[in-house]
């Protein structure tokens, strides 16, 4: 694998522009750029048209790829904005195929052939071994959740984690890492995220800024995922910044809320204040709901922006209070 410091940044910046012009999502651009840079291999599910684009781009920009023969249909999750981690085999033209991208074609072909060798694939995709183990250990439980592992991720004690390892933002086409971490505060995931961010910063800093999502994320398998502006409800800003569902009970309560707090040391984790009502933290609305505040930890801003100036932009509102003090 090529060292990320030796990456041809101007070539990859052009690759990023071409991907954007072709209508690729932010996460697809991230995965192609990280593979083309040699930092890690990537795995995508692409239509025949997407595979043809990869073939042309691979030829122009010098990265390898290999596509499987089997077609799959993605089973879209209605509560999560069309996100899918589950697929079924299909015949016909509408399917997507598994595609591995790597620095060269031989590596991509080896990964495609490795199929069920999770250790080998995990290593090439730079998934920490603790997270690969989590993926295997929780497979049965995940099957009941359309193979979406998000609700199974171990929570940090303080409900805060580094903005670098935010994977709840995948439902909003953001995030620096693609794998499900074993815990939101998985140290190895943060390390991989840090290295990925530094590679992306050299190649396409504006894409990196778009991929980073700070804030409080409320996750429910059933009732949607919510990206909150701030758990304190800053004056003049609605509580919800983005959401994948509008019709659920949880969506309706969050939409009416003027303030949302995380309650620690309780079996329920959210307290929602509205202009007219307050939802009791023990309400069934919060059944199976996970809440994590993703903030820049010490040094994250330097990794993301090269200095601390990023703290002044909208995503890192300096007025944001730390979450640690909310235990009650
Ligand atoms: Zn881990």
Give the strands of the sheet with 240-243, arranged side by side: 160-162, 289-295, 215-220, 224-228, 240-243
pLDDT of residue 183: 95
pLDDT of residue 253 exceeding 70, the answer is yes
pLDDT in tens, 177-226: 999 999 999 999 999 999 999 999 999 999 999 999 998 899 998 899 99
| pLDDT for the residue numbered 82 | 76
The vertex-292 CA angle with 291 and 296, nearest 5°, equals: 160
Give the model's pLDDT for residue 323.
30
Q: In what order do the strands lie in the sheet with 97-102?
A: 42-46, 97-102, 64-67
- Say what the pTM is: 0.88
The separation between CA 142 and the C-alpha centre of its own chain, rounded to angstroms, equals: 17
Predicted confidence (pLDDT) per residue in 125-157, tens digit = 999 999 999 999 999 999 888 889 999 998 888
Q: In this structure, how many other beta carbons lie within 10 angstroms of the beta carbon of residue 265?
A: 9
CA of 185 to the centre of ligand 1 (A): 8
Looking from the CA of 192 toward its CB, the CA atoms found within 13 Å total 29
Question: How far are the Cα atoms of 57, 123, 193 from residue 134, in angstroms, in the given order?
Answer: 34, 14, 18
More confident residue, 33 or 72: 33
Q: Of 228, 202, 197, give the one whose Cα is nearest residue 214.
A: 228
Share of the chain above pLDDT 70, in %: 83
Of the candidates 127, 95, 122, 97, the residue with the CA atom closest to the CA atom of residue 111: 122
Cα–ligand 1 centroid distance for 125 (angstroms): 14
**Cα distance between residue 215 and residue 312, in whole Å:** 15
Please tell me which of 36-45, 221-230, 250-259, 261-270 the model is most confident about, judged by mean pLDDT.
Answer: 36-45
Give 183 Cα–ligand 1 centroid separation in angstroms: 6
**pLDDT higher than threshold 60 for residue 315:** no
What token pair was written down for 123? 């290593």
Distance (Å, whole) CA 1 – CA 145: 35
For tokens 């994250």, the residue is 300
190 CA → ligand 1 middle, Å:
9
Q: How far is CA 257 from the centre of its chain?
A: 26
Q: Are 94 and 138 in contact (CB under 8 A)?
A: no
CA of 274 to the centre of ligand 1 (A): 37
CB 73 within 8 Å of CB 87: yes
Identify the band that residue 313 occupies on the pLDDT scale cut at 50, 70 and 90: very low
189 Cα to the center of ligand 1, angstroms: 6
Q: Is the pLDDT of residue 160 over 60?
A: yes
Angle in degrees, CA 182, 175, 190, rounded to 5? 45
Using the mean position of ligand 1's atoms as its centre, give its distance from the Cα of residue 137 in Å: 12
């Amino acid at each position: 694998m090529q060292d990320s410091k030796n990456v041809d940044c101007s070539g990859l910046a052009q690759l990023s522009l071409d991907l954007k012009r072709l209508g690729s999502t932010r996460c697809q651009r991230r995965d192609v750029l990280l593979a083309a840079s040699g930092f890690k291999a990537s795995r995508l599910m692409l239509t025949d048209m997407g595979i043809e684009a990869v073939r042309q781009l691979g030829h122009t920009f010098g990265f390898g790829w290999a596509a499987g023969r089997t077609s799959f249909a993605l089973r879209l999750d209605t509560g999560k904005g069309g996100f899918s981690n589950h697929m079924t085999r299909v015949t016909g033209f509408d399917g997507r195929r598994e595609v591995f991208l790597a620095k060269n074609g031989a590596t991509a072909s080896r990964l495609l052939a490795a199929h069920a060798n999770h250790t080998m694939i995990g290593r090439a995709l730079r998934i920490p071994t603790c997270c690969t183990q989590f993926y295997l250990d929780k497979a049965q439980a995940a099957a009941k959740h359309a193979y979406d592992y998000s609700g199974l991720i171990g929570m940090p004690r303080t409900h805060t984690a580094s903005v670098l390892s935010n994977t709840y933002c995948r439902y909003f086409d953001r995030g620096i890492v693609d794998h499900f971490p074993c815990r939101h505060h998985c140290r190895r995931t943060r390390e991989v995220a840090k290295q990925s961010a530094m590679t992306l910063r050299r190649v396409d800093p504006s894409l990196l800024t778009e991929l980073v999502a700070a804030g409080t994320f409320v996750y429910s398998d059933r009732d949607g995922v919510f990206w909150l502006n701030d758990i304190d409800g800053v004056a003049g800003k609605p509580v919800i910044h983005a959401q994948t569902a509008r019709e659920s009970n949880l969506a309706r309560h969050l939409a009416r809320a003027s303030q949302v707090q995380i309650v620690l040391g309780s079996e329920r984790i959210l307290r929602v204040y509205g202009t007219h009502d307050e939802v009791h933290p023990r309400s069934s609305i919060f059944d199976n709901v996970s809440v994590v505040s993703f903030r820049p930890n010490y040094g994250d801003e330097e990794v993301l922006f090269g200095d601390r100036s990023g703290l002044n932009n909208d995503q890192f509102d300096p007025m944001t209070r730390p979450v640690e003090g909310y235990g009650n």
